[in-house]
Structure 1
Amino acid sequence: MIFKRDIVETHPGVERPRAGTPLILALGLALSVALGGAAWTQAVEEPPAAADSMAVEAAPAPPATLAPAAAKDPWRRFNRGSYAFNGFLDRALIRPITRAYMKITPSPVRRGLGRVVDNLREPSTVLNASLQGHPRRAVQAGVRFAINSTVGVLGVFDVASRVGLDRSRADFGQTLGRYGVGTGPYLYLPLVGPLNVRDGLGQVVDALTDPISLATGGLGSDFGAGRLGVTALDYRSSADATLAAVAEEATDPYATIQSAYLQNRESVVREATGAVEVLPDFEAAPDTPAPAETVALAANNVSEPIY
């Protein structure tokens, strides 16, 4: 998750992978703990999804539910317990594995794998952009997938962006918000990370309807297990510097990540309605620590209760 990216998708009830993939699956499951940090990275380093460069679409009036909502964290005790558990697992297992991966894998290779992960999400963006009533964005995402999967060598190179087809993101949680579905209470789940009820449901739907997953046999296939492992490593390594900065400088890291996640998701939904200005999706510079002043500013803006 997830998650500068969203939460890693999971499919309940899938068959166990064949021999040879348990380590990858274990990494994928464990690294999902850190996806709260990935969501935080997205909130402080990335603007909302890129605009459709093919055409400017008419922006519908935003539903009333998009107004800033009061804090909703009724399960705070459970959420903080989950956050503490995930943090322990991250320090004991996930962070050492991630940093070993970062040490032995050159930055260009990691960036290429990250682009492959992004490319595999394009078909899901096509589906959700269509459901949101943005056909031109859907077409652009489809064209991006075709170009990057061929000329871009399965997405290792983002050729589409170089010819003016910028990446946009769409998910089912955003789609629900586009049509006025409220967020519901905030959740921080063990082995998952930050969510709200609406976006949790959206992630389940995205996981079950992801065209790439459906075409390749889901997590029960070698491809599905490998995709999960690579996605999880990419998410956690991308968030590593920001997570470290939050842990070191934020007065209350739980509240900081919570605030960043919720503000980011609100921005994503507002973007789908045309309620905010859409900015390009700039890719963060590799291996650059998050500015300490950015983390501190976000932390200082947190006021309890944070929904």
Structure 2
Amino acid sequence: MTHYLPRGRRLAISFAAAFIVAMSAGPTIAQTKQEPVPPVPESAAPTNSQDPYENWNRKVYRFNDTIDRWALRPVAKTYRTFVPDLIDRAITNFFNNLTEVRNFTNSVLQLKGESAIVAVGRFTYNTVLGLGGLIDVATALGLPERPEDFGQTLGYWGAGSGPYLMLPLLGPSSPRHLSGLGADVFVFPSPWNEVESPDNYYARGVQVVDKRADLIPAEGFISGDTYTFVRNAFLQRREFLINDGKVTRDPFASGDNEDLMLDDF
């Protein structure tokens, strides 16, 4: 028998789940490198002006790495083993299609009329012609996704990123990024709000595992200090998104950067 939770509690749980999805979709996934993260002496001064809390962030990173290594990654590997590629891709497409609502809303807030039209077109084509979003028809028709979130909207209107933060369970973030995630979940309309619990939570769980499984192949690109790699990948990816791919400077230049694969994060 289906049990229903109060709407406030339902939204709170959905909010937490959405943050976990963000963690799995971002560079935190890369933290599955099996070598332990080297500890940093308490007296060590930060080497990057955007990471003034590096000592604390590294401790949180090790905590997240342990959770991922012993819980999320094994489930994701099992998922990759038993779920056929065709079904895996359909699941990924379905959840990506739902984000077009967010993309449209934030495109409007950023006065990006073309991106807003693309978001509407993608959602329409993929929902109607793509069997409810299971097939990415829009990309085949020349309408690739233009991801927009409220963190990008804040950046568009001049809000600074703030210091780099590694959050327990939620992964890489910043004050602007974290505020944007909260607004995307609580303020803007989402198809998830129409899904009653517990189906909402089941779907969120599948989304997390699917995202984590899709990023397992990217682990091979990690080298060196995994904490630094994850931090730099996150900062570069956010800079790339906020500037619509027009990055004219290295947002985390510190002399120890890697040639990062942005598309994998």
Alpha-carbon distance in structure 1 between the residues aligned to 2:80 and 2:25 = 17
Partner of residue 182, structure 2: 204
Alignment counterpart, residue 15 of structure 1, candidates 10, 15, 36: 10
Alpha-carbon distance in structure 1 between the residues aligned to 2:68 and 2:184 = 26
8 Å CA contact 2:155, 2:161 repeated in 1: yes
8 Å CA contact 1:37, 1:236 repeated in 2: no
1:138-217 aligned at under 5 Å gives the runs 138-213=116-191, 215-217=193-195
- CA, structure 1 residues 174+40, in 2 after alignment: closer, same or farther (shift >3 Å)? farther
Alpha-carbon distance in structure 1 between the residues aligned to 2:119 and 2:204 = 22
8 Å CA contact 1:40, 1:261 repeated in 2: no
Alpha-carbon distance in structure 2 between the residues aligned to 1:267 and 1:134 = 16
8 Å CA contact 2:127, 2:133 repeated in 1: yes
Deviations 1:210-229 (A, max 9, x none): 42246415xx6234213311
Partner of residue 241, structure 2: 268
Alpha-carbon distance in structure 2 between the residues aligned to 1:34 and 1:146 = 27
Cα deviation, residue 136, structure 1: 2.3
Alpha-carbon distance in structure 1 between the residues aligned to 2:106 and 2:165 = 23
Alpha-carbon distance in structure 1 between the residues aligned to 2:21 and 2:108 = 31
Select the structure with the greater relative contact order (CA < 8 A; seq sep ≥ 6): 1
Partner of residue 111, structure 1: 89
Cα deviation, residue 122, structure 1: 0.3
Alpha-carbon distance in structure 2 between the residues aligned to 1:84 and 1:267 = 27
Unpaired runs of at least 5, structure 2: 1-6, 32-47, 249-254, 259-265
Alignment counterpart, residue 37 of structure 1, candidates 27, 40, 51: 27
Aligned partner letter, 2:217: A
Partner of residue 9, structure 1: none
Alpha-carbon distance in structure 2 between the residues aligned to 1:259 and 1:112 = 31
Cα deviation, residue 78, structure 1: 1.8
Moved more, 220-229 or 254-263: 220-229
Aligned partner letter, 2:160: G
Alpha-carbon distance in structure 1 between the residues aligned to 2:231 and 2:142 = 34
Aligned partner letter, 1:14: R
Cα deviation, residue 104, structure 1: 0.4
Deviations 1:7-33 (A, max 9, x none): xxxxx952399xxxx9xx999887765
Alpha-carbon distance in structure 2 between the residues aligned to 1:133 and 1:26 = 29
Alpha-carbon distance in structure 1 between the residues aligned to 2:88 and 2:54 = 36
Cα deviation, residue 234, structure 1: 1.9
Partner of residue 72, structure 1: 50
8 Å CA contact 1:129, 1:170 repeated in 2: yes
Cα deviation, residue 151, structure 1: 1.2
8 Å CA contact 1:37, 1:243 repeated in 2: no
Cα deviation, residue 245, structure 1: 4.2
Alpha-carbon distance in structure 2 between the residues aligned to 1:164 and 1:16 = 35
Cα deviation, residue 34, structure 1: 4.0
Partner of residue 261, structure 2: none
Aligned partner letter, 2:98: L
Unpaired runs of at least 5, structure 1: 1-11, 42-69, 278-298, 303-307
- TM-score by structure 1 length? 0.66
- TM-score by structure 2 length? 0.76
8 Å CA contact 1:28, 1:231 repeated in 2: no
SS in 2 for 1:185: coil
Cα deviation, residue 118, structure 1: 0.7
Question: In the comparison of the two structures, how many residue pairs are matched?
Answer: 230
